[in-house]
Amino acid sequence: MSPTSSPAGRHAASRPSTAPAFAVIPGAQVQRALAGREKEIVELVEATYRLHGAGDTVNPPSYFLRFPDRPTARIIALPASVGGSVGVDGLKWISSFPDNVPAGLPRASAVLILNDRRTGYPFACLESSIISATRTAASAALAADWLTRTRSRPTRAGFLGTGLIARYIHGFLAGTGWSFDTVGVHDVSAESAAGFRGYLRQTDTAARVVVHDSAEELIRSSDLVVFATVAGRPHVTDPAWFSHHPVVLHVSLRDLDPAVLLASANYVDDVEHCLKADTSPHLTEQLTGGRDFLDGTLDDVMTGRVTPPADRTVVFSPFGLGVLDLAVGAYVYEEVARTDDLHLIDDFFHELRRYG
């Protein structure tokens, strides 16, 4: 998208003096707009990371709303602004309620608000659990590509945690050309592990699917390890499990003990964002009193400022940036608008005359 064709720019330009229209984009439309676009979305996420690295974004700290009476639950606000060809401001509002899972509901739910850059008016509200999973998976697939360019491409993938995010990450790896000889699966819930195994067998993968009884067994048998759990504190503590030096996509952020990170080469998406909220990197900073254990960001790798080692475990810990949600959300808006299928609420805004 060019700056003049961005959703915010075109929306503002087309309605310079009238009440702005407001679109609601439900999950089914979001999913249709993104289906089969893995390569395109990974390219978009890469471009957004490069914008972020160049300083052409605003990505304030996320705000965590927590509840004394529901300590496992939280709702997170991620405000952000993306420049360049995306050209949009906005906010993701995403909840994480783990107690939903036993009741048969997904843990996370979310909406994304897109704001016009010229007037500040919101012009769209999108169902965003799919957008959030998509940008997370695209980021993981992008990192897997860049972090393995100095070593043999992994042929044994292992998924520790088997929910929606694991499924999306596998889909994005497959959709961007990855294939594996074996795919390992481990989850504290045998039912979840069996469900993910069933999903894998329904895909066109030729990989042998192995359900492991322990995290150690899965890690030792994988050269690409994906953590996609709901762990609140580190539960993988022994660096010896990683003696074969895999690439680790530490998407769930709180699985690895500082001892594991200190024995690895560590990359994050954004240093300031990742080193907070008791993530594993944050705990490592608290333990060591510094950040020397960090080797760089993914943008550092993509621009060639740093090179991941081939003879050490490499860990990518992405906090998840709101700018990625905005970029993917703007893409969805464009796709739905292109098909003339936007659900517009023309009278959403009221009292637009200053003096009545």
Q: What is the pLDDT of residue 15?
A: 46
By percentage, how much of the chain surpasses pLDDT 90?
A: 84
pLDDT, average across residues 300-308:
98
Which residues touch 135 (CB under 8 Å, ≥6 apart)?
Answer: 41, 45, 320, 324, 325, 327, 328
By percentage, how much of the chain surpasses pLDDT 70?
A: 94
Q: What is the pLDDT of residue 18?
A: 64
Lowest mean pLDDT among 16-30, 157-171, 318-332: 16-30
Per the document, the length of the chain is 356
Q: What is the pLDDT of residue 240?
A: 98
Is the pLDDT reported for residue 8 higher than 60?
Answer: no
Q: What is the pLDDT of residue 241?
A: 98
- Give pTM, 2 decimals: 0.92
CA–chain centroid gap for 347, Å, is 34
Q: What is the pLDDT of residue 27?
A: 97
pLDDT, average across residues 209-238:
96
Provide the mean pLDDT of the chain.
Answer: 93
pLDDT, average across residues 32-40:
97
CA terminus-to-terminus distance, the chain:
38
Burial of 204 (0-12, 13-18, 19+ CB in 10 A): exposed
pLDDT band at 19 (very low <50, low <70, confident <90, very high): low
Is the pLDDT reported for residue 237 higher than 80?
Answer: yes
Burial of 183 (0-12, 13-18, 19+ CB in 10 A): buried
Q: What is the pLDDT of residue 5?
A: 41
Is the pLDDT reported for residue 141 higher than 80?
Answer: yes
Residue 184: strand pairing partners: 158, 210
What string of DSSP letters covers 190-226?
HHHHHHHHHHHHHSS--SEEEE-SSHHHHHHT-SEEE
* Nearest alpha carbon to residue 84 among 54, 118, 39, 116: 54
Q: What is the pLDDT of residue 45?
A: 98
Query: pLDDT tens, 251-298?
Result: 999 999 999 999 999 999 999 999 998 999 999 999 999 999 999 999
* Nearest-angstrom CA–CA distance, 40 and 45: 9
Q: What is the pLDDT of residue 24?
A: 98
Let me know: does 184 contact 218? Beta carbons within 8 Å: yes
Q: What is the pLDDT of residue 12?
A: 42
Q: What is the pLDDT of residue 44?
A: 97
Is the pLDDT reported for residue 86 higher than 80?
Answer: yes
Domains parsed from the chain with CATH numbers: 3-131+322-345 (3.30.1780.10), 133-317 (3.40.50.720)
Strand 224-227 relative to strand 247-250, pairing: parallel
pLDDT, average across residues 20-43:
96
The identity of residue 2, as a single letter, is: S
pLDDT band at 6 (very low <50, low <70, confident <90, very high): very low
Is the pLDDT reported for residue 17 higher than 70?
Answer: no
Q: What is the pLDDT of residue 2?
A: 35
Is the pLDDT reported for residue 304 higher than 90?
Answer: yes
Q: What is the pLDDT of residue 351?
A: 81
Let me know: does 182 contact 156? Beta carbons within 8 Å: yes
Query: pLDDT tens, 323-353?
Result: 999 999 999 999 999 999 999 998 898 887 7
